[in-house]
Amino acid sequence: MTYIDGFVIACPTANRDAFIAHARMGDAVFIELGALRVVECWGDDVPDGHTTDFRRAVKAESDESVLFSWIEWPDKATRDAAMARMTEMMTDPAKADPRMDPAKNPMPFDGKRLIFGGFVPVVDMTA
């Protein structure tokens, strides 16, 4: 069964084009490492909640938009191998990939407020 990595991000609204360029470059690496699909979504209808909400979860400021993204993997083993390879790309100069270099592909958002996690699908329905 597939495995999903999910992300919620606060990104300055003015950085929308920079985010899209950053995502296209980095997401290509995920696909090359075995991801089936990567989806990056820019918040359009993200309401304030009574107890909690997406904006509060990432401490979004008034000039920021909330993004919701996911990566679909064929299985957890493929995802784990890809994440290990990506770590090598960022830490081992001999295996470096410029798409993963923060100097060449800087994050246009505050990575400290990025929320992420891995998920096992329990219901998967299509039309």
User: Residues 103-113: pLDDT tens digits?
Assistant: 778 889 999 99
Q: What is the pTM of this model?
A: 0.91
| Residue 104: per-residue pLDDT | 78
Taking all residues of the chain, what is their mean pLDDT, rounded to a whole number?
A: 94
Per residue in 76-127, pLDDT tens? 999 999 999 988 888 887 877 888 777 778 889 999 999 999 999 999 999 9
State mean pLDDT over 54-59: 97
Q: Residue 109, CB half-sphere, CA atoms under 13 Å: how many?
A: 30
Q: Are 73 and 2 in contact (CB under 8 A)?
A: yes
Helix (H) or strand (E) segment spanning residue 57: helix 54-57
Each domain of the chain, given as residue ranges in start order, spans: 10-119
Identify the CATH number of the domain defined by range 10-119. 3.30.70.100
